Structure 1
Amino acid sequence: MQNCGKSTFKRTSIDRLMNVLVLCIFGFLAFMCTILAIGNYFWELNEGSQFTVFLPRQDGNNAGFSAFLTFWSYVIILNTVVPISLYV
């Protein structure tokens, strides 16, 4: 009867600290990607039209869509910042 209760998961203080740090790093990654996407948006509005000779755009591609794609591109590029291998 004493052993049929719900068992508790024991976590060390280092494990709790690592969870908080990884969440903070994810937040930092999202923040950096957002800032870089906003920078790409403003660059596309101001300077991007001068580069259409070298990089022709298809119809319908505007600065907002470019910023959206840039956000996800930076997520892929900067994902090595997150130390997932520490949990393995």
Structure 2
Amino acid sequence: MQNSGRTKFKRTSIDRLMNTLVLWIFGFLICMGIILAIGNSIWEYEVGDLFQIYHPWDQGVDSAFLSGFLSFWSYIIILNTVVPISLYVRLAAQQYWA
């Protein structure tokens, strides 16, 4: 009867530290994406049309917000190398076995 309950997953202090580090790194990645997207929106609003002198394009972006939203996801994809792949695998394995 004593062993019939749910078993606890025993984690070492290193495992807890790694989980905390992964969350901090993801938070840093999201913050960098937001900051860069806001900067892109401001630039697009103030300078975007004037830049066509140097690099013309067929269709301009109508909305600075849309440009910021799309650039946010672009920056997340570009900066995803901030999080090492070993941390992805470690976190996924821990969630699977928990």
TM-score interval, normalised by the smaller of the two chains: 0.7 to 0.9
Among 52, 57, 60, the residue aligned to 2:59? 57
**Could you list the runs of 5+ residues in structure 1 that have no partner in the other structure?**
none
Give a deviation string over 1:13-38, Cα, whole Å, max 9, x none: 00000000000001100000000000
Instruction: Provide the rounded CA distance (Å) in 1 between the counterparts of 2:57 and 2:63.
Output: 13
Q: How many residues align?
A: 87
TM-score by length of 2: 0.79
Q: Percent identity?
A: 61
Moved more, 48-57 or 67-76: 48-57
1:6-25 alignment to 2 at 5 Å?
A: 6-25=6-25
TM-score by length of 1: 0.87
1:33 is aligned to 33
Instruction: Provide the rounded CA distance (Å) in 2 between the counterparts of 1:30 and 1:13.
Output: 26
Deviation above 6 Å: which 4+ runs of structure 1? none
Please report how far the alpha carbon of residue 46 of structure 1 lies from its aligned counterpart in structure 2 after TM superposition.
Answer: 1.2
In angstroms, what is the RMSD of aligned CA positions? 1.7
Is this contact kept in 2: 1:37–1:67, CA < 8 A?
A: yes
Q: Quick one: which amino acid aligns to residue 79 of structure 1?
A: N
